[in-house]
């Protein structure tokens, strides 16, 4: 029986801790078990990742494990290996990595007992009850929703925006009856299979042939080309081998349709993992995948960390999406970990996108990834026609030019829907005094405050600070305050004035913050009535709106020509994704792009030749300047109460590192693009090399130096490997 265990304890130190395994514990210590251990004055839950036969720590100083929390290992060996690999690769404290491998419920020694969810359905004898009073609008509306969906939990009902009182009134009136479980998905009819076109067929065959071994594919398919259908077929073949599939998607809340398509095709076999679930639902689904009871896991970023019984296929949909990269704490890339897991489990990995990342295109060029192309839209839909509109010297109304307004009117007259895209929420990004030039700035950030007119508020989109919307200039007391530039809220208002009889559906973080509200808006769009959709990039993601025939893009210049070398890639992807919402079914689509620089070569390439040539051009530039993905990079960030102390800390790291080797470089300290955020000052070092191993060697050294340095009070620092921004 092992006497010692090495435990990953959730703390910011980059190592594991040895503990004694006391004889009083009944179980045998095993790697993968959770334990409760003393840590300073606290008790923490950690995971055993080694059972060494001896330890360097003097026996009298060594503490004992307090309690074993599992009978048998909670994490299987492959996940232990993944955690250790990730801690080393991302230079992140091992205990914090392991903590994220566990569902939240399992991170506590005594998991809080959650009551099983209670569901409500329309009661059987509803026809014998008196009808609801005509003024009980909320009750009528909720009853209709429950009738339509079959069964809903109290939580779901709350998420849809109904109060407890409304629900309780219906229950007390006898209109609803209790149910223990949601309606079994099996009652829905499996969707009929489509017959694949040649390119889809080729893609499915290539993936299916690869099952059973490690292989990497880039499924590059234009928007609406039927990538999902390819995934579904490949999954069927994987199921046929008795193996499981992991499907990663960027955000479930935004694309409930995707989830429905999977559940319809595989009614009894899909588990989901995403932020919309309660902790107990998450741990249940996690266990169903680990035990092999469910064969398909559909989830967002963190789902890539789930243990599988027998993983046979991994799919990463919209692989270019930035949400796959965790942007705080352990900054892992779920897409990259997906590829790593494919290699660990010896199974194929399919990365799919209409706008592949330059990383993946580079891997195709190097011959590491096999390219599968879908160049045509599926089911007879045609690619939309793209028009570039020169708006120089044009009078704009909340950003809208005349041509776009005319095209919108025509679209509505034809009985179709128009989508107007502006990637900026709120009423206006700046409030300025017309008399003295005063600008409403955030007190805590180097940023202007955004006007939210409906709420009579100024809000900082970086730190969340809010102020009441002033009516006079605080500097010169003039009354004439002007709104500089439009946001979606203003766009909505202005469209209402132009089209008073047409519903305007705005989709951005402000209109969808309540859970379930996105689904209601989407349902509204799917009624097919002529309407105008206004929104931010939330509208770009994977939606299939069959009646949208016009897409208008108001302002894309900013991102395309930004200073960050990743700006053009990101904006180009966004533009193509938004444009891809037009004409996806049997009605032809049009895209109108307004620009102040219609002759710019990048924009021209994107519009006239499409995403691939545009991306290849960007990739050639990255090669020329040896930028990622051609080279590898990492960022060390520090933030403190002054810019000087953040920079001084980083300078000490630089000074302690060796110099003179031209095969790697370190630049900085540089102030972050927004140096002051939420009252803290931020600076960074950028490490770069064409050799990954060299980068990691120096990064490792930098971390050791940073760990040993005396830090000014309140300084925080972190490492970001393969960053996606500065
Ligand atoms: P993507 O994920 O590439 O954007 P989807 O998978 O959403 O595209 O497919 C777009 C539309 O085309 C969907 O409505 C889908 O049902 C349809 N579709 C896909 N493949 C076929 C096919 N082989 N025949 C007919 N329709 C198809
Ligand atoms: Zn003023
Ligand atoms: Zn702020």
In this prediction, residues 450-471 reach a mean pLDDT of 95
Kindly state the average pLDDT of the residues 323-337.
Answer: 97
Greater pLDDT, 380 or 296: 296
d(CA 470, CA 487): 18
Ligand 3 geometric centre to CA of 682 (Å): 14
Average pLDDT over residues 138-148: 81
Among 423-427, 514-518, 672-676, the minimum mean pLDDT is found in 514-518
Ligand 2 centroid to Cα of residue 442, in Å, is 17
Q: Quick check: CB of 226 below 6 Å from ligand 1?
A: yes
Q: Is 223 in the pocket of ligand 1 (CB under 6 A)?
A: yes
435 C-alpha to ligand 2 centroid (Å)? 5
* Cis-peptide into 629, omega within 30 deg: yes
Does the domain at residues 632-721 carry the CATH identifier 3.30.70.600? yes
Query: pLDDT grade, residue 402 (50/70/90)?
Result: very high
Q: Is residue 181 pLDDT above 80, yes or no?
A: no
For 214, the 3-state DSSP assignment is: coil
Helices and strands: H and E segment counts in the chain = 20, 30
> In this structure, is the dihedral angle defined by the CA atoms of residues 543, 266, 310 and 240, taken in order, positive or negative?
negative
Q: Model confidence over 183-194: pLDDT tens digits? A: 654 444 556 678
pLDDT for 420: 96
pLDDT at position 154: 78
State the ligand closest to the CA atom of 355: 1
199-374 is classed CATH 3.40.50.300:
yes
- For residue 93 and ligand 1, the question of a CB distance below 6 A is answered with no
The closest residue, in CA terms, to atom 10 on ligand 1 is 224
Decide: 701 and 91 in contact? Cβ < 8 Å. no
Lowest mean pLDDT among 133-137, 330-334, 359-363, 420-424: 133-137
* CATH architecture of the domain covering 385-427+485-621: 3-Layer(aba) Sandwich (3.40)
For the cut 90, the answer to whether the pLDDT of residue 675 exceeds it is: yes
How many CB atoms neighbour CB 587 within 10 A? Answer: 17
Write the residue with the smallest CA distance to atom 9 of ligand 1.
226
Predicted TM-score (pTM) of this structure:
0.89
Q: What is residue 188's predicted lDDT score, i.e. its pLDDT?
A: 46
pLDDT in tens, 231-285: 999 999 999 999 999 999 998 766 667 888 898 899 888 999 988 788 888 999 9
101-115, 270-284, 570-584, 638-652: which is most confident? 638-652
Sign of CA dihedral 677, 678, 683, 689: negative
442 is in an annotated binding site: yes
Residue 378 near ligand 1, beta carbon < 6 Å: yes
User: So what's the ipTM on this one?
Assistant: 0.97
pLDDT tens-digit readout, 429-446: 999 999 999 999 999 999
Ligand 1 atom closest to Cα of 229?
Answer: 6
Which residues touch 42 (CB under 8 Å, ≥6 apart)? none
Least confident of 361-370, 448-457, 563-572: 563-572
Instruction: For 10-57, write each residue's pLDDT tens digit.
Output: 999 999 999 999 999 988 999 999 999 999 999 999 999 999 988 888
Among 368, 320, 362, 373, smallest CA distance to 216 is for 368
Q: Which has the higher per-residue pLDDT, 138 or 240?
A: 240
Say if ligand 1 is within 6 A of residue 196 CB.
yes
Is 476 among the annotated ligand-binding positions?
Answer: yes
The model's pLDDT over 213-230, given as tens digits with 9 standing for 90+, comes to: 999 999 999 988 999 999
User: Which pLDDT score, from 0 to 100, does residue 187 have?
Assistant: 41
Class of the domain covering 3-107:
alpha beta
């Amino acid at each position: 029986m092992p006497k010692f265990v090495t435990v990953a304890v959730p703390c910011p130190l980059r190592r594991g801790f040895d503990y004694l395994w006391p004889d009083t514990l009944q179980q045998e210590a095993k790697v993968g078990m959770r334990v409760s251990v003393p840590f300073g004055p606290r008790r923490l839950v950690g995971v055993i990742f080694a059972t060494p036969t001896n330890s360097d720590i003097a026996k009298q100083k060594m503490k004992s494990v307090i309690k074993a929390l599992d009978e048998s290992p909670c994490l299987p060996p492959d996940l232990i290996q993944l955690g250790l690999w990730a801690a080393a690769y991302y230079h992140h404290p091992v205990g914090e990595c392991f903590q994220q491998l566990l569902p939240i419920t399992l991170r506590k020694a005594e998991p809080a007992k959650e009551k099983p969810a209670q569901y409500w359905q329309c009661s059987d004898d509803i026809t014998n009850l008196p009808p609801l009073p005509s003024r009980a609008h909320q009750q009528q509306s909720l009853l209709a929703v429950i009738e339509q969906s079959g069964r809903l939990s109290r939580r779901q009902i709350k998420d849809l925006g109904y109060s407890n009182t409304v629900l309780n009134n219906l229950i007390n009136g006898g209109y609803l009856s209790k149910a223990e479980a949601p309606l079994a998905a099996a009652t829905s009819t499996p969707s009929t299979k489509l017959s694949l076109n040649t390119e889809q067929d080729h893609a499915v065959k290539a993936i299916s042939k690869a099952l059973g071994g490690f292989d990497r594919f880039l499924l590059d398919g234009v928007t609406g080309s039927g990538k999902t259908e390819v995934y579904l077929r490949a999954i069927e073949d994987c199921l046929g081998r008795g193996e499981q599939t992991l499907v990663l998607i960027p955000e479930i809340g935004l694309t409930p349709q995707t989830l429905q398509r999977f559940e319809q095709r595989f009614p009894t076999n899909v588990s989901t993992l995403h932020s919309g679930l309660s902790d107990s639902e998450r741990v249940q689904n996690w266990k169903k995948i680990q035990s092999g009871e469910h064969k398909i896991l559909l989830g967002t970023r963190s789902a890539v960390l789930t243990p599988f019984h027998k993983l046979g296929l991994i799919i990463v949909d919209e692989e270019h999406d930035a949400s796959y990269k965790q942007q705080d704490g352990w900054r892992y890339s779920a897409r990259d970990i997906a590829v790593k897991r494919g290699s660990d489990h010896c199974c194929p990995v399919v990365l799919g996108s209409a706008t592949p990342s330059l990383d993946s295109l580079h891997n195709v060029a190097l011959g590491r990834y096999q390219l599968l192309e879908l160049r045509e839209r599926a089911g007879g839909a045609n690619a939309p026609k793209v028009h570039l509109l020169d708006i120089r010297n044009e009078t704009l109304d909340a950003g809208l030019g005349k041509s776009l307004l005319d095209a919108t009117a025509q679209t509505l007259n034809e009985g179709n829907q128009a989508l107007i895209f502006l990637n900026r929420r709120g009423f206006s990004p700046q409030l300025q005094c017309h008399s003295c030039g005063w600008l409403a700035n955030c007190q805590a950030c180097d940023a202007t405050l955004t006007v939210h007119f409906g709420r009579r508020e100024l809000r900082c989109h970086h730190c969340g600070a809010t102020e009441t919307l002033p009516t006079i200039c605080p500097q010169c007391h003039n009354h004439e305050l002007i709104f500089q530039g439009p946001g979606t809220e203003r766009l909505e208002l202005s469209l209402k004035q132009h089209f008073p009889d047409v519903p305007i559906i705005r989709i951005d973080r402000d209109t969808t913050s309540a859970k379930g509200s996105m689904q209601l808006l989407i349902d509204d769009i799917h009624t097919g009535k002529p309407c105008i959709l206004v929104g931010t990039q939330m509208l770009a993601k994977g939606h299939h709106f069959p009646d949208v025939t016009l897409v208008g893009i108001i302002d894309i210049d900013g991102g395309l020509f930004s200073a960050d070398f990743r700006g053009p890639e990101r904006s180009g992807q966004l533009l193509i994704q938004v444009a891809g919402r037009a004409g996806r079914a049997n009605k032809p689509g049009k895209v109108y792009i307004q620009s102040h620089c219609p002759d710019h070569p990048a924009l021209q390439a994107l519009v006239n030749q499409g995403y691939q040539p545009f991306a290849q051009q960007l990739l050639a530039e990255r090669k020329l300047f040896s930028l990622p993905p051609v080279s590898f990079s990492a960022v060390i960030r520090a933030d403190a109460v002054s810019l000087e102390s953040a920079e001084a800390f980083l300078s000490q790291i630089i000074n302690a590192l060796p110099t003179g080797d031209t095969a790697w470089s370190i630049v900085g300290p540089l102030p972050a693009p927004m140096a002051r955020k939420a009252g803290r000052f931020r600076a960074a070092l950028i490490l770069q090399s064409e050799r990954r191993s060299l980068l990691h060697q120096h990064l490792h050294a930098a971390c050791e130096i940073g760990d040993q340095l005396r830090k000014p009070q309140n300084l925080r620092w972190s490492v970001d490997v393969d960053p996606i921004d500065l």
